[in-house]
Amino acid sequence: MSGFTEISPTALMRLLGTPEAPTVIDVCIDDDFADDPRLIPTARRWPHKNIAKFEASGPVVVVCQKGLKLSHGAAAVLRAKGIKAEALEGGNYAWRDAGLPLLPAATIPAPLWVTRHRPKIDRIACPWLIRRFIDPMAQFMFVPPAQVMAVAEKFDATPFDVDGAPFAHEGDHCTFDAMLSAFHLGTPALQTMAKIVRAADTNRHDLAPEAAGLLALSVGLSRQYKDDTAQMEAGLALYDALYRWARDGQSETHDHDGAKP
């Protein structure tokens, strides 16, 4: 059982991918991080000696190698500043030993991304994945298709879902699939989502019956919003709901029996 100022790896994993997820900061010393340069999804590195300078508007989970002095000390400093902070029980070791996803730090791009304008499915699903599991501070630019790669070069942005980009369609798989693979995010819930996104994005509704509904809602959003960024922000809630269904709601059904006297 986790201590009073701790959160277990399982409990943290339940929060990740949802709008209620805490900010995760990794305070491992450089030598420990060099031994295993991977990060818990959404985590950012922060020197423990500078923890007093860290600011947050919501809850924080502090991670170190073993969940001992560094994370508990840093969390205590943050609590003294009025920030709700907990240490991850067992640290990165416990997270790793539980088989939970870890992102290779070298694969995490800068926070600015660019893709084609007028998004529908993949270009909303991917920003959701990036914001919820890779970089909560990520920003997205939507530009004409012919300008994506040039804009990426000029603005030091990461292009996606366009030919020649590091994250794009490959064979029968879409960009959402490519990101799951690149960032080692193969959880059952995300794989379920990937199948639905792939089916809707490539017009293969035989792969997943939910694809027809995702397509209908995505087209509706694109008709409702003229501004691509506003459409993306509204669409994040759609994928939040799809993730919760994929994670623990697939067995639930619904009928009209409750209306009978």
What residues does each domain of the chain span?
Answer: 6-104, 109-248
| CA 129 to each of CA 108, 205, 257: distance values in angstroms, whole numbers, following the listed order | 13, 22, 37
Share of residues in the chain with pLDDT > 90 (%): 95
Enter the pTM of the model: 0.96
Give the model's pLDDT for residue 4: 87
Q: What homologous superfamily does CATH list for 6-104? A: Rhodanese-like domain (3.40.250.10)
Give the model's pLDDT for residue 255: 82
Average pLDDT of every residue of the chain: 96
- Give the β-pairing of 38-39 and 103-104: antiparallel
Rounded Cα distance, 149 and 170, in Å: 18
Give the model's pLDDT for residue 202: 95
18-44 tens-digit pLDDT? 999 999 999 999 999 999 999 999 999
Q: What is the pLDDT along the chain (261 residues), one digit of tens a residue?
A: 667 899 999 999 999 999 999 999 999 999 999 999 999 999 999 999 999 999 999 999 999 999 999 999 999 999 999 999 999 999 999 999 999 999 999 999 999 999 999 999 999 999 999 999 999 999 999 999 999 999 999 999 999 999 999 999 999 999 999 999 999 999 999 999 999 999 999 999 999 999 999 999 999 999 999 999 999 999 999 999 999 999 999 999 988 765 565
